[in-house]
Amino acid sequence: MSPARYRRRTILAGLAGTLIAAPVLAQSRLKVAALFAGRIDDRGFMQAGYEGLKLAEQRLGARAIVQQGVAPKPEDLTAALRMLAAEGPDLVIAHGGQNNAAAKAVAAEFPAIRFVVTQGNVTGPNLASYEVLQEHSAFLAGMLAALTSPTGVVGHMSGIRVTPGLKGRAAYAAGVAQADPKVTLLTNFSGNQDDNALSGRIARAMIARDARVIFTMLNAGRAGAIDACRELGARQIGNVGDWTAIAPDVFIGSAFADSGRALYDAVADHAAGRLAVGQVKHLGLETPEAVRLVMAPSVPPEIRSRIEAAGQAIVAGSLKVPVEWSGAEFETPA
């Protein structure tokens, strides 16, 4: 497609954050407005969603309006969604479960527009949620951590307490217990997905408590944990994408869960007239292009086989992945 066939739309906004216009196909009929409560270059959850939107542009001819960088506060998210809906798109997508309440409220105000929350759990007459089941790959990540930790202690780090993150932590904890119930789990929600200084402090504190494998469910703040693990000789398990290819010296695995697939599927379903309004649509290990555990080549064959068998049992329905957990949490260091 030549540049001449593209056009750009500029939108002025008085909200905090960055509102940008993505390249669009002039002849396209489907207009999609997408909200990202974070940076679309965070090499994590937000970027994965943005790449799913770009794929929808390329394959489906969708026209896209993108707003990024809005603080994950209910009032800011509601205002941002309301502004996007006022542009008159066919579909508004709010990327991330932190948008549940805001999307529910704004969808009721604009009944002629369809709304989707990715990684959400809200529905309505014109509202659907599309969820990639990252808890499936997180469960397998817990098994990998427990089976490869030389100290019998493993870590988990996340930021905001949104439902998908809590479910992922619960699944990881269950995977640890499934592999070896004697392994100790240190788990922390810091309140921030993007603060590298903070994630570095937490990772170092966990390593000081003998955690030698840490599962990080972070966005731009993952780099701080990577630096700490590299410095102190600990291993890490990533999420969202394949971190074993990005930093193979640190990552022993990655709980791949492509949230962009949820965003792409929502656009594709809307284009085909089958958007799952009133429903929550799930994608799990049965869709390996969306959800899988990536293991580094160094993972021993016997561990790999055990984890693969567990994955097959999850797909078959004979192994249920818990999505709730209660227990003591690792205190965020000052």
Of 145, 127, 224, 222, which is closest to residue 184 (Cα–Cα)?
A: 145
Only one residue has tokens 């309440």, namely 101
| Per-residue pLDDT at 1 | 40
Mean pLDDT of 124-135: 96
Beta carbons within 8 Å of 77's beta carbon, 6+ residues apart: 35, 37, 70, 94, 98, 99, 102
Q: What tens digit of pLDDT does each residue of 179-221 get?
A: 999 999 999 999 999 999 999 999 999 999 999 999 999 988 9
Beta strands at 31-36 and 91-95: parallel, antiparallel or unpaired: parallel
Average confidence score pLDDT of the chain: 91
Percent of the chain with pLDDT over 70: 92
**Residue 50 buriedness (CB in 10 A; 0-12 / 13-18 / 19+):** buried
d(CA 190, CA 319): 30
Q: What tens digit of pLDDT does each residue of 138-183 get?
A: 999 999 999 999 999 999 999 999 888 999 999 999 999 999 999 9
Only one residue has tokens 């489907």, namely 30
Query: Cα torsion for 94, 97, 101, 103, to the nearest 10°?
Result: 20
| Per-residue pLDDT at 163 | 85
CB atoms near residue 254 (< 10 Å) = 28
Residues paired with residue 66 on neighbouring β-strands, in sequence order? 20, 34
Q: What tens digit of pLDDT does each residue of 293-323 get?
A: 999 999 999 999 999 999 999 999 999 999 9
d(CA 269, CA 312): 28
**How far is residue 198 from each of residues 45, 89, 150, 218, 262, measured CA to CA in Å?**
18, 38, 26, 11, 30
Percentages (nearest 5) of helix, strand, coil residues in the chain: 40, 25, 40
| Residue 9 confidence (pLDDT) above 70 | no
Name which residue leads in pLDDT, 281 or 20: 281
**125-156 CB burial, b ≥16 within 10 A, e <16:** ebbbbbbbbbbbbbbbbbbbbbbbbeeebbbb
319 three-state secondary structure? coil
DSSP string, 29-85: --EEEEEESS-TTSSSHHHHHHHHHHHHHHHH--EEEEEE---S-HHHHHHHHHHHH
